A and B are shown apart, each in its own frame.
Chain A
Amino acid sequence: MLAEFGHFALLLILVAGFSQALLFSPLRLHAGRIVASLSFGTKTVTAVSGNSGNEALSDVHEPDTTPHSSALPTPFPNNLIALPLIILALGILSQAALIHAFVVSDFSLPIVADVSHSSTPLLFRVGAAFTPDGGAMLLWVLATALANNVFALQVFRRASHTLTTASSDTLFIANALSILGLVIALLALVTLIDADPFLRVAVAPLDGRGMSPQSQDVLRILREPVLYLGLAGLTVIFTVSIAGLLTHKIDRSFAETLRPWVIGTWLFLGLAIAINAYRSYSQQAWGNWWYWDTAENSLLIPWLLTTALVHCRAVLEKTDTLKSWTAFLGVSAFAVGWFGVYLSRSDLLGPLTETLSQSADSTALLVGFCLLFSAAYFLFWRQADRMAEQKAFGFVSRESGMFLNSVTLSLIAAVILIGTIYPLVLRWVDGENITVGAPFYVEALLPVVLPLMFIMGFAPVLRWRQDELWLIGRRMKLAVMLSLIIVLFVSIRFIDLSPLPLIGIGLAGWILAAALSDLWARLWHQPDHGESKYRNLQLLGPRYISMTLAHIGLAILIAGGSASAVWEEQVVLSARAGQSIEVGPYNLQYEGVALLAGENYATRQATFILYRHSLPVAELFPEIRYYPIRGTETREADIFHGRDGDVHVSVGDRSEDGGRIVTVRFLPMMPWVWTGMILMLIGGSISILTRMFLRIRKNGVPAS
């Protein structure tokens, strides 16, 4: 019964989304505006028709006959704020109904019977609700409804003090909310057509087929909400961009509106990527954290575009330039986000991951994509040229640096996109199967990444508007010397290092040295105006701190990635109980395997004691789990994060001579990869949290 209730709520979301689209419709406001401007000419203040609450639902407009000189009423009454709230409530209801079906194991719903089982632990029964197509789509709808609500609150709040006088602002907000409603309705419709999660079968099976063992993992479950929150953020960026294009309002206040969304989306997508990377690192005996497979690429491409957008938006807010480029990125980021969802859900690209048990039909998802984005790009094409840019900036300037880097980031995203879809297109054209794997991406992307990293080093110290090359040289003196020293040291110390990782380490050193030397200059070289140097620290501001943290994080990530790939040590052997294995600076003692029972699996858990300088530092328990419901095994590695590297242990089958196959890898500097990712995320959080904090305390927003 509850499931039907949820089904109905999903239907109502469709209706409510469409009503939001209609009630805030630009056409409705346009009509009012045109009539108003006709009747008052150009001299008087054009009044946007002021509706009272009761008239809001009618589509007929009576232009206000008394022109207001000031304090125009908002063209949409305040009670319309309830609509996003209703959609959110419906979304929560519908999601709750689905989760309830999983919790009580209602196997008359095929979606539950497919990916759950009565023996699945409660936490994973809840998590299983997000893994199949229907559940994931529903989560997407819910996340978008949440974003819709937050956005409505944001703009309505602003509306209460500034909006009453500026009619173009009103129009902009109405457009954005209308398109958001349309997207929500579209997503709900796609969910209902493609993968309706609430369908029932007449005869329920006795028990389910069980959750895919691969997804029975806390991190894997956490990834889904994070990913869809990121996509919801992209939706808001998209609608705001389209609304800005429609009302020619891509300016500094537009950038201001976009700010929390861009950074929030960047954070959520980044977190989803980080979770994904750590998951594939700890799952099985692979131990690699990046494979360039479809699911990973479809996360990386929108993240790259969002990163480009973070920079463009900052330029737009500061200098009122790069208008159409920002709008283009805003539209494209959501386009690749949506397309990525489609790619990772359809079975077009080779075998599916095991988590999607049956190949789902995602046609509506593709049709919706084509409709929405052909309209969006058509609009962009019509409107982009009208975005006049009054301000200029020189070729050597901060704007330029950030613009060029955003172009390079988009270039990288485009190459990855082509690499991802090329096999699919080729198979469709002439039936030939090819694979595009890691070697291609490394070869194709390296020439693009190099200039990106190079510019990234000195872009933060460039001046706005116009700068001189020789001045840059003077400012970068310290950074150049430091990075050269790092490269020299590494190349002499590790004489047989191949050029590729050396380049990686050198670039990481360059970015790190540049960030640190700029920090140094700001803290110590700045005149202190008679106050203490501590004042300089306070003057840095959250934006600068978050930017520096994110850049340093990336540098550390690159250094760690390059180094761990080169200096990896791997030992594979057939071990017997009591045997000790030497790897890197560690000594690993194998204690044997115990057969244990997990909640819904049986596990062969091996015990290792890790010694360093003959002192025990940790115990490691890699496992081979057997899930009887699906009859599959998973291999969980266990990892020790030391200060100088990770020890990655996994066990395999029994070997022919009676020992246990043990794979031990020592990955020096691997913790740098995780630290780098965490630093980038902390950087983004600082930027968004300080702003929220200041908002709440009503201290205003820091200027820079």
Chain B
Amino acid sequence: MNRPFLILLGVIGLVVPLLLSSPAHAVNPDEMLSNTVLEERARDISQELRCLVCQNQSIDDSDAELARDLRVLVRERLVAGDTDQQVIDYIVARYGDYVLLNPPLKPETYVLWASPVVLAILALIAVAAFYRRKQREAGAKPDKLSKDEQTRLNEILETAQKDGSK
């Protein structure tokens, strides 16, 4: 055997166990793909998809049978060479938008996605109006003490000083 071949073998011998021992992310070891890049992608996709029989839980977290089937399906599509988007489209085509934890932007969800922005703008307008009104009211009523109040304050201060000096 020549030297380059030995080196190659050595490298493979070092790298493969490293790849295998890196933290596995699948929920179940027998679903896990041996290719860590694909597995990483599968996990990312799984976190975007909803377990259909649970409450707002991703299939990555869920123990349910159906979630397991979906996880396996995602991995099958990835191994078949689909891109992430293709995998998601594939699943959405079968189960509808319901499986997407992040609702897609489409006419039905315009209101949903616009609501934070619209609410924030409304809140800004309301707050601005509040301060303007506040300013106007404050302008009408000067912040200083009236004459009576001033004399009363002076009286109090004087008595306080007398008490203090006693």
User: B148 at interface (Cβ–Cβ under 8 A)?
Assistant: no
Contact yes or no, A437 B25, CB < 8 A: no
Q: Does B152 contact A (CB under 8 A)?
A: no
Chain A CB within 8 A of B101 CB:
yes
> Taking the complex as formed, is B143 at the interface, i.e. its CB lies under 8 A from any CB of chain A?
yes
The segment from B9-17, B49-57, B77-85, B155-163 that touches chain A is B49-57
Asked whether A22 is an interface residue with its Cβ less than 8 Å from the other chain, the reply is no
Complex Cα distance, B112 from A26, in Å, reads: 42
Query: Are A415 and B115 also in contact (CB < 8 A) when A353-B55, A435-B50, A435-B56 are?
Result: yes
A448 vs B103: C-alpha distance when bound (angstroms): 20
Whether a CB of chain A sits under 8 angstroms from the CB of B120 is yes
- Contact residues, B17-42 vs A (CB, 8 A): 23-30, 32
Give the shortest distance, in Å, between B130 (CB) and chain A (any CB): 8
Q: Is A440 an interface residue (CB 8 A)?
A: yes
Query: Which chain A positions have C-beta within 8 A of B119?
Result: 411, 414-415, 418
Chain B nearest CB from A569 CB (Å) reads 6
Q: Check if B135 is an interface residue, CB within 8 A of chain A.
A: yes
User: Are the C-beta atoms of A432 and B24 separated by less than 8 Å?
Assistant: no
A422 near B131 with CB under 8 A, answer: no
Contact A569–B120 (Cβ < 8 Å): no
Minimum CB distance partner of A418 in chain B: B115
Which listed residue, B24, B54, B112, B137, touches A389 by the CB 8 Å rule?
B137
Q: Across the interface, do A436 and B25 meet the contact criterion of CB distance under 8 Å?
A: no
B98 engages A434 (CB within 8 Å): yes
A432-B108, A437-B56, A572-B25 known; A656 vs B103 contact (CB < 8 Å) = no
Instruction: Point out the residues of chain A lying under 8 angstroms from B27, CB to CB.
Output: 285, 572, 663
Interface contact B115-A392, CB-CB below 8 Å: no
A393 and B55 contacting across the interface, CB-CB below 8 Å: no
Q: Does B48 contact A (CB under 8 A)?
A: yes
Measured in the bound complex, the distance between the Cα atoms of B25 and A403 in whole Å is: 45
Are A288 and B61 in contact, with the CB atoms below 8 A? Answer: yes
Q: Check A351–B123 contact: CB distance below 8 A.
A: no
Contacts of B26 in A (CB 8 A): 572
Does any Cβ of A come within 8 Å of B76's Cβ? no
Scoring A residues 397 to 420 as 1 if CB is less than 8 Å from chain B, else 0, what string do you get?
000000110011011001100110
A389 CA / B62 CA spacing, docked (Å): 54
The docked-state distance in angstroms from the alpha carbon of A656 to that of B24 is 18
A292 CB-CB contact with B under 8 Å: yes
Interface Cβ pair total, 8 Å cutoff: 137
- When the two chains form their complex, are residues B61 and A435 in contact, meaning their CB atoms are under 8 A apart? no
Contacts of B127 in A (CB 8 A): 403-404, 407
Question: Taking the complex as formed, is B116 at the interface, i.e. its CB lies under 8 A from any CB of chain A?
Answer: yes
Contacts of B98 in A (CB 8 A): 433-435
What residues of chain A lie closer than 8 Å to B97, measured between beta carbons? Answer: 432-435
B129 at the interface (CB under 8 A from A): no
- The distance in angstroms between the C-alpha atoms of A284 and B55, with both chains bound, is 14
Q: Contact partner of A437 among B29, B101, B134, B143, CB < 8 A?
A: B101
A655 and B23 contacting across the interface, CB-CB below 8 Å: no
In the complex the two chains form, is A437's CB within 8 Å of B138's CB? no
A433 to chain B, nearest CB (A): 4
CA separation between A571 and B21, bound complex, in Å?
A: 10
Is A293 touching B56 in the complex (CB atoms < 8 A)?
yes
* Residue A652, interface by CB 8 Å: yes
Does A426 contact B134, Cβ atoms closer than 8 Å?
A: no
Q: A357 an interface residue at 8 Å Cβ cutoff?
A: no
Contact B116 A572 (CB under 8 A): no
Is residue A390 within 8 Å, beta carbon to beta carbon, of the partner chain? yes
Q: In the complex, what residue of chain B is closest to A287 when comparing beta carbons?
A: B61
- Chain B residue contacts of A295, Cβ below 8 A: 55
* Cβ of A496 under 8 Å from chain B: no
User: Is A392 a contact of B134 with CB atoms below 8 Å?
Assistant: yes
Q: Which of A286, A390, A573, A656 has the most CB of B within 10 A?
A: A286
Smallest Cβ distance from B24 to chain A, in angstroms?
6
A607 in the interface (beta carbon within 8 A): no
Contacting residues, chain A, for B61 (C-beta < 8 A): 286-288
A227→B30 CA distance, assembly (Å): 42
Q: Smallest CB–CB gap between A119 and chain B, Å?
A: 25
Given A444-B115, A573-B24, A655-B29: 6 more A-B contacts, CB < 8 Å: A295-B55, A350-B55, A389-B134, A436-B103, A436-B112, A663-B27
Binding site for B on A (CB under 8 A): 284-288, 291-295, 350-351, 353, 389-390, 392-393, 395, 403-404, 407-408, 410-411, 414-415, 418-419, 422, 426, 430, 432-440, 443-445, 447-448, 569-574, 635, 652, 655-656, 661, 663
A-B pairs with beta carbons under 8 Å apart, 20 shown: A292-B56, A293-B55, A390-B141, A392-B134, A408-B123, A411-B123, A415-B115, A418-B119, A434-B103, A435-B100, A435-B103, A439-B48, A440-B103, A444-B115, A445-B116, A569-B23, A656-B30, A661-B28, A661-B29, A663-B27
Closest 9 CB pairs of A and B: A437-B101, A392-B138, A439-B102, A293-B55, A293-B56, A433-B98, A444-B116, A418-B115, A422-B112
